[in-house]
């Protein structure tokens, strides 16, 4: 099979690898589509993503969908030909967590993730013609949801988890700062969950246009306009420390700010005084638990993620796809790989 394999910084190759075989309790997926994420571009650009450093060649990709090609022994309730996506996480060890974290498996530290170099040996991803997964990782797509949309169930799950961190959103005014792929998916998620007025902010008119197509009722280009005042619920999706002061000031007194954009792991300078004086609840949001199941249901119920998709490339064009995803001038949001 062919696969997009990163060997080092700016060294991404389409390698020929052995076809995998499903073991007991596993499913073999013929992968059709993959979405490029920030971690994929980080491995391509730096041979690292956060603290995970590349030690060996790694198949990229954790946003994937395809069709079941074969069932391993002992698998029931699934059949060949079904369109599916995959929950890409595998807990390592006994999976036991403190009672205060019961059910929050996204916070279980030793976790393997598709397309990650966090462990050695690394965990290959799904930018390959075939990929095995445990049957419990499989999420069957509704008939009306194609695998191109289904590949975005994983990042939509991130957005739905973030929305859940804010509590009941029905009827609320919501601000989403940062209209990249995750921010725009947060816009779509909170609208789907019943938010009243949703405002999206960014420095890019192109990103804001996509956020509007994803459901934003109003857009603010913060390069020339101030953020609104006194918004009860705010999502910070840019991950930019420079944005924090203005975002905290935009949050209403006693309001909630959900940090879904990854902040740097190093020391930063940021204006945080309003966190105290306005008694803001600032809460983090990391990956998801089982919201990928909710994402599949939402897609089946009509939540449309296609406005997010700006570019599609064949697997053999993976290097070009990565370069487009990294280029601010390209106008890209979600860049997709057509794998099968």
Number of domains in the chain: 2
pLDDT given at position 268: 83
pLDDT at 75: 98
290 in any annotated domain? no
Domain that holds residue 134: 2-152+305-338
pLDDT by position in tens, the chain (length 340): 999 999 999 999 999 999 999 999 999 999 999 999 999 999 999 999 989 999 999 999 999 999 999 999 999 999 999 999 999 999 999 999 999 999 999 999 899 999 999 999 999 999 999 999 999 999 999 999 999 999 999 999 999 999 999 999 999 999 999 999 999 999 999 999 999 999 999 999 999 999 999 999 999 999 999 999 999 999 999 999 999 999 999 999 999 999 999 988 888 888 899 999 999 999 999 999 999 999 999 999 999 999 999 999 999 999 999 999 999 999 999 999 999 9
Helix ranges (H only) for the chain are 38-46, 147-150, 153-165, 181-192, 205-213, 244-250, 273-277, 291-300, 318-326
DSSP 120-173: SS-B--S-BSEEEEEGGGEEEPPTT--HHHHTTHHHHHHHHHHHHHT---TT--
pLDDT in the model for residue 19 = 97
CB atoms within 10 A of CB 211: 31
- The CATH number that applies at residue 315 is 3.90.180.10
pLDDT of residue 266: 82
**Whether 195 and 163 share a structural domain:** yes
Q: Say yes or no: 206 and 104 in one domain.
A: no
| Statement to judge: residues 130 and 24 lie in one domain | yes
Q: Cα angle vertex 156, ends 172, 65, to 5°?
A: 160
The pTM (predicted TM-score) of the whole model is 0.97
pLDDT at 212: 98
């Amino acid at each position: 099979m062919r696969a997009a394999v990163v060997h080092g910084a700016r060294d991404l190759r389409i390698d020929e690898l052995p076809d995998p075989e499903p073991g007991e309790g596993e499913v073999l997926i013929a992968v059709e589509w993959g979405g490029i994420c920030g971690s994929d571009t980080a491995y391509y650009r730096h041979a690292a993503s956060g603290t995970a450093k590349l030690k060996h060649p790694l198949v990229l990709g954790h946003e994937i969908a395809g069709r079941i090609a074969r069932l391993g022994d002992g698998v029931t309730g699934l059949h060949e030909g079904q369109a599916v996506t995959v929950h890409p996480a595998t807990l390592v060890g006994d999976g036991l967590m403190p009672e205060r974290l019961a059910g929050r498996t996204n916070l279980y530290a030793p976790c393997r993730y598709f397309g990650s170099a966090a462990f050695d040996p690394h965990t290959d991803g799904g930018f390959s013609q075939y990929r095995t997964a445990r049957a419990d990782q499989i999420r069957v797509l509704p008939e009306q949801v194609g695998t191109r949309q289904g590949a975005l169930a994983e990042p939509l799950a991130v957005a739905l988890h973030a929305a859940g961190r804010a509590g009941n959103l029905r009827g609320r005014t919501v601000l989403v700062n940062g209209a990249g792929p995750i921010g725009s998916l947060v816009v779509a998620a909170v609208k789907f969950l019943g938010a009243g007025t949703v405002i999206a902010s960014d420095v890019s008119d192109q990103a804001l246009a996509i956020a509007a197509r994803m459901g934003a009722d109003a857009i603010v280009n913060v390069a020339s306009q101030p953020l609104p005042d006194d918004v009860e619920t705010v999502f910070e999706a840019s991950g930019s420390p420079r944005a924090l002061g203005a975002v905290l000031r935009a949050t209403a007194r006693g309001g909630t700010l959900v940090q879904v954009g990854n902040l740097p792991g190093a020391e930063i300078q940021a204006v945080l005084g309003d966190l105290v004086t306005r008694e803001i609840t600032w809460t983090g949001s990391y990956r998801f638990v089982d919201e990928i199941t909710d994402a599949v249901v939402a897609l089946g119920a009509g939540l449309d993620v296609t406005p997010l998709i700006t570019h599609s490339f064949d697997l053999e064009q993976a290097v070009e796809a990565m370069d487009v995803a990294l280029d601010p001038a390209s106008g890209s949001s979600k860049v997709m790989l057509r794998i099968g």
